[in-house]
Amino acid sequence: MGKTARAADKSADRGAEKGVQRCIDSACGATYGLRERIYVCPRCGGTLEIDCHLVASGGATALRKRWAARAASRDPRDVSGVWRYREMLPFDEPIPFVTLFEGNTPLYHGPRSARYCGLDDLRLKHQGCNPTGSFKDTGMSTAITQAVVVGARTAVCASTGNTSASLAAYAGRAGLQSAVLLPRGQTTAGKLAQSLDYGALVCEIDGNFDDCMRLIQELGDDPSIYVANSINPFRIEGQKTVAFELMEQCLWQVPDHVVVPGGNMGNSTALGKGFQELLELRMIDRLPKLSVIQAEGAAPLARLFETLDLRQTAGGEHLPETMAPVKNPRTLATAIKIGAPVSWKKALRAVLRSGGKIIAVSEQEIADAKAMIGRDGIGCEPGSATTVAGIKKLVAAGHIRADENVIAVLTGHMLKDPDYVSQYHRGTLGLDSGGTDGSAPSRPIDGAFQNSPERVAANKAAILATLERRR
Ligand code: F0G
């Protein structure tokens, strides 16, 4: 076949596909077919997103009804909280979908957390109730499915621990080899154990997450490798479905605010994309304000946000070219210990479009908010608690009103990091010095809502007396 014929053939294939991969850089805007195994724009190096040809056949009401009916079906595609929304996903039928029945996570009321924040009500969408205990599973389901579609041999990622656990599990389901790059000594024991058990090759790298991410970008050139970090736009496609599930749980009443933690910025990008697509299909009539919360010691995007003149960004149309990374990110919320988030532009665009904010919270604020979420009987890992800490600050600053409808997205399960929890309640939590010369003092964190275990004599009277004292 001649070159022109091949090109024509390729574009005909593309026309039949459910969407394209598009460079988000407005000066470039290049498009590529869905089967092209690329992670950044080959022309300009920009970030890619998937532009789906969305059609709500039969109209928005019919699509809502179809999704609701699937929630009662036993077809595996419908049991999954990702594939139930398959109209919105860039895959052709029959889809070789890889699932662990992700999604379907609860939306809880958190009365104590609400009071703590100064709100009348607060709801918590617990993505930590996914099969591997974090929100990563929704995106991994689509990313590993795409790895199967393109015939990849080995799926790889850099991770602070949750992406790797999820990748290892889904690759295991698909029978693919997996390898994960983790910053040595900076991943919680629980997360590391998951990757080992699911059969991944665990590479402990001397360096931080950003160093692992740089290595991944180099490895992506190898034809045997499939990169499943959230720079891969197929990850975002799965993760955006949480917006659809959330709207169903809210009976299609758009919340005023949705607040998420920020690390590598895939989650905020995905939620923003999900809501934007619902708006385009007229399934919702406005966007919730999307706000992102980072940990103070790993907050490059919050720092950039502070310097922006919001009038000049034109609702996310004009974005800054660069973001200064944090060279040595520091936080006990290891999940979000990231200094150079790869999806920062897409996330910033989503926040600006919606009218939300990007702010940072301190280690003490994270720790106390986490204990408050625990008191509601919910629990989460430290990175997730940035949301409640951030909401408290945004209420105090007047960005969120007490009577507004607010959702915090919790991203990871409490048992991902039990050491942190235990140290907080025993009053032994602290951020290590981390000074390059080792001389900076360590910063203790006060267990303001401490609940340390008590040594009680082994008899009924002693137990009852202890209970009485604590009443
Ligand atoms: N919360 C948890 C529990 C996480 O594990 C992460 C990211 C985030 C929030 C931030 O989400 O990166 O999409 O902005 N963890 C990644 C990982 C980086 O490797 O597990 P993000």
379-403 pLDDT, tens digit each: 999 999 999 999 999 999 999 999 9
Q: What is the pLDDT of residue 236?
A: 98
Distance (Å) from CA 371 to ligand 1 centroid: 20
The atom of ligand 1 lying closest to the CA of 416 is: 3
Find tokens 């917006």 and name the residue: 243
The DSSP symbol for 46 reads P
Please tell me if the CB atom of residue 329 comes closer than 6 angstroms to any atom of ligand 1.
no
Q: Select from 110, 100, 113 the least CA-distant residue to 139.
A: 100
Please tell me if the CB atom of residue 265 comes closer than 6 angstroms to any atom of ligand 1.
yes
Distance (Å) from CA 3 to ligand 1 centroid: 43
Highest mean pLDDT among 1-5, 35-39, 220-224, 462-466: 462-466
Q: What is the pTM of this model?
A: 0.94
pLDDT, tens only, 44-87 = 999 999 999 888 778 899 999 999 999 999 999 999 999 999 99
* pLDDT score of 10 more than 90: no
As a whole number of angstroms, the longest Cα–Cα distance in the chain is 90
**In terms of pLDDT, which residue wins out, 437 or 47?**
47
Q: What is the pLDDT of residue 324?
A: 98
Q: Select from 137, 375, 435 the least CA-distant residue to 266.
A: 137
Question: Ligand 1 atom 4: the closest Cα is on which residue?
Answer: 335
Please tell me if the CB atom of residue 339 comes closer than 6 angstroms to any atom of ligand 1.
no
Please tell me if the CB atom of residue 335 comes closer than 6 angstroms to any atom of ligand 1.
yes
* pLDDT score of 437 more than 60: no
Whether the upstream peptide bond of residue 94 has omega within 30° of 0, thus cis, is yes
Per-residue three-class SS string for 394-450: HHHCCCCCCCCCEEEEECECHHHCHHHHHHHHHCCCEECCCCCCCCCCCEECCCCCC
Please tell me if the CB atom of residue 382 comes closer than 6 angstroms to any atom of ligand 1.
no
Distance (Å) from CA 266 to ligand 1 centroid: 8
Q: What is the pLDDT of residue 54?
A: 87
Mutate to test the pocket of ligand 1, among 47, 124, 336 (most ligand atoms within 8 A of CB): 336
* pLDDT score of 273 more than 60: yes
Q: State the Cα–Cα distance between residues 224 and 21, nearest whole angstrom.
A: 21
* pLDDT score of 7 more than 70: no
Average pLDDT over residues 149-176: 97
**Band of residue 218 on the pLDDT scale cut at 50, 70, 90:** very high
Distance (Å) from CA 399 to ligand 1 centroid: 25
Q: What is the pLDDT of residue 396?
A: 98
Distance (Å) from CA 156 to ligand 1 centroid: 16
What mean pLDDT is reported for the chain? 93
Please tell me if the CB atom of residue 134 comes closer than 6 angstroms to any atom of ligand 1.
yes
The atom of ligand 1 lying closest to the CA of 230 is: 13
* pLDDT score of 11 more than 60: no
Q: State the Cα–Cα distance between residues 340 and 346, nearest whole angstrom.
A: 14
Distance (Å) from CA 292 to ligand 1 centroid: 12
Average pLDDT over residues 107-120: 98
